[in-house]
Structure 1
């Protein structure tokens, strides 16, 4: 997996974390939920990439 994709997956998880915190601060359940979803997607993509890399070696 390319380093660019790894960075993109980490950035998506970080973006989700920020959205979740901002949603919690502002009281926006929509923003908090979007943040959780983005964070989960980023973490899932990272996990998938790690599994894929493990089978390559």
Structure 2
């Protein structure tokens, strides 16, 4: 996973946490749910990138890199 992808995913996660907190404190259920959705999306992207990294590491190990 590139540094830029990691930064984008982390930014999306933090933005989601902020939305959720603001939605919770203002009793805005839609904003809270949107924040939770953003966090879930970021987590899914991070998991996918981690799988790619693991596959690349295995491939490189077999190639002797």
Give the TM-score band, short-chain normalised: over 0.9
Runs (4+) of structure 1 exceeding 2 A deviation are none
C-alpha distance in structure 2 between counterparts of 1:46 and 1:13, whole Å: 10
Larger Rg: 2
Structure 2 residue aligned with 1:8:
8
CA distance in 2, matches of 1:52, 1:5: 12
Q: How many residues align?
A: 57
| TM-score under structure 2 length normalisation | 0.84
Q: What runs of 5+ residues in structure 2 fail to find an aligned partner?
A: 58-65
After the TM superposition, which residues 4-43 of structure 1 pair with which residues of structure 2 at under 5 Å, given as runs? Answer: 4-43=4-43
1:8 CA displacement: 0.2
| Residue aligned with 1:27, SS | coil
Q: Please state how far the C-alpha of 1:4 moved relative to its aligned partner.
A: 0.6
State TM-score, norm by structure 1: 0.95
